[in-house]
Amino acid sequence: MSTRFTIARLGSQGDGIAETETGEVFIPFALSGEVVTAAREKDRATLMSVLEASPLRVDPPCRHFGACGGCAVQHLETEAYHRWKREKVVHALKSKGIACDVGALVPCAPHTRRRVVFTARRSEAGMQFGFVRALSSEIISIEECPISAPQIVAALDRLRMLAGLICTTTKSFHMAVTVTGSGLDVAVHDSGKLGENQRRVASNFVIAERLARLSVDGEVIIEPNKPVVLFGGVAVAVPPGAFLQATEAAEQAMANIVVQHFARAKKVADLFAGCGSFALRLAARSEVHAVEGDAAALAALDRAFRFASGLKRVTGERRDLFRRPLTFKELNAFDGVVFDPPRAGAEDQSKQIARSDVPLVAAVSCNPVTLARDLRILMDGGYALKSVTPIDQFLWSPHVEVVALLEKPRRRR
């Protein structure tokens, strides 16, 4: 049974929110100001029809939108979408009492997502391969994807076939596909242990289809071409499953902001450094100490530095910054600190930075909520927030990347 709702506003996850006598109701794919009918179940409802459409409603560019759970707001006009993304950051900062002139959203174009994670499962109907429907375990088979790089879209049928070749379970498993300079890097997780025949068949398939590498649960099955990406012109051979920013354009936008902030810094600490997307760019001007908990990522960074030319010294340290953050005394050896933690943020590390005398800090985050918490800690420690720039790395999704720059005068010693 459907109920009539008037949408009061667009929520942080892209759902239309209707206010009723029994509380708020969240309706995916409805826009602010619209009158809709929807089938309600507790505080959520399934959109049935749009009776009065918003002037900001547009036709989504993807035929899978609404079924595929990857995108939330393809139906929202571009400028309104940009305002909504920026407001997510503004609201997160306000929740911590931070008043700041948040910059305009830096857009990223469609067809630029270089890393995509697919879900696969073998069923009685055959091999299911695609993206998971929102709030469901149903896998939606896709034939197009306007956010993904063309190399990934062109390989969809081949990737589906590869999933079938390596699957040893009826449970769902994941296939992360990354565009690199030497081809597609395919990293599979939770597909089950491969037998010798499966390894041989899968390896032959990878060679025939000219994929760069296949790894399963971190083990390299075959690597015809070592996957390489460029960080500021420095070639990095990335390990299986390595973290990379979702789009190259967003990575470059973030790096430009960070590098400019540290233009006069002689020595910079790069915390949660990964494979070196910031460190190797910063090293063109500054000495860099890269701290990272993942040994393979740190080794890749170190190898890239050793084979590069024209860089300042880059040192590496393997360290779990959640368990053992750099202390304020250690940090005082640096002119600048950049940190780019996972979604959980860097609360304990921020407390140490706040106690330090480091004059320049850049905070990078894919979670405005935890970023706001960490910025509040830094500001309470004497840092002045100079700029906040949102970057639309995750097109048409509720997620947004943010770069915040801070400064603190050096104390006289």
Q: What is the pLDDT of residue 411?
A: 66
Tell me how far apart the alpha carbons of residues 341 and 243 are, in angstroms, rounded to a whole number.
11
Query: What pLDDT band is residue 124 in, cutting at 50, 70 and 90?
Result: confident
Query: What pLDDT band is residue 410 in, cutting at 50, 70 and 90?
Result: confident
End-to-end Cα, the chain, rounded Å: 72
Question: How many DSSP H helices and E strands does the chain contain?
Answer: 10, 21
Nearest Cα to Cα of residue 137 among 122, 119, 123, 124: 119
Q: Which stretch of 115-119, 139-143, 167-171 has the lowest confidence by average pLDDT? A: 167-171
366 classed as catalytic: yes
Backbone angles phi, psi at 125, to 5 degrees: -80, -5
For the chain, the C-alpha Rg in angstroms (whole number) is 23
Tell me how far apart the alpha carbons of residues 352 and 18 are, in angstroms, rounded to a whole number.
43
Helix (H, G, I), strand (E, B) or coil at 350: helix
Tell me how far apart the alpha carbons of residues 327 and 342 are, in angstroms, rounded to a whole number.
20
pLDDT tens digit sequence for 96-116: 999 999 999 999 999 999 999
Q: Which domains does the chain have, with CATH numbers?
A: 2-57 (2.40.50.140), 84-109+244-407 (3.40.50.150), 115-226 (2.40.50.1070)
Tell me how far apart the alpha carbons of residues 179 and 247 are, in angstroms, rounded to a whole number.
10
Q: What is the pLDDT of residue 39?
A: 97
Q: Which residues contact 79 (CB under 8 A, 6 or more apart)?
A: none
Average pLDDT, the chain: 96
Residue 123: is its pLDDT beyond 90? no
User: 121-160 b/e with 16+ CB inside 10 Å = b?
Assistant: bbeeeebbbbbbbbeeeebbebeebbbbbeebbebbebbb
Tell me how far apart the alpha carbons of residues 225 and 179 are, in angstroms, rounded to a whole number.
13
Cα 13–Cα 14–Cα 19 angle in degrees, nearest 5? 95
Q: Are 291 and 326 in contact (CB under 8 A)?
A: yes
Nearest Cα to Cα of residue 293 among 234, 339, 258, 333: 339
pTM: 0.94
Residue among 68, 108, 145, 366 flagged as catalytic = 366
Express as a percent the part of the chain with pLDDT over 70. Answer: 99
Q: What is the pLDDT of residue 125?
A: 80
Query: What pLDDT band is residue 412 in, cutting at 50, 70 and 90?
Result: low
Q: Are 304 and 233 in contact (CB under 8 A)?
A: no
Query: What pLDDT band is residue 77 in, cutting at 50, 70 and 90?
Result: very high
Residue 1: is its pLDDT beyond 70? yes
Q: Which residues contact 255 (CB under 8 A, 6 or more apart)?
A: 231, 232, 277, 278, 281
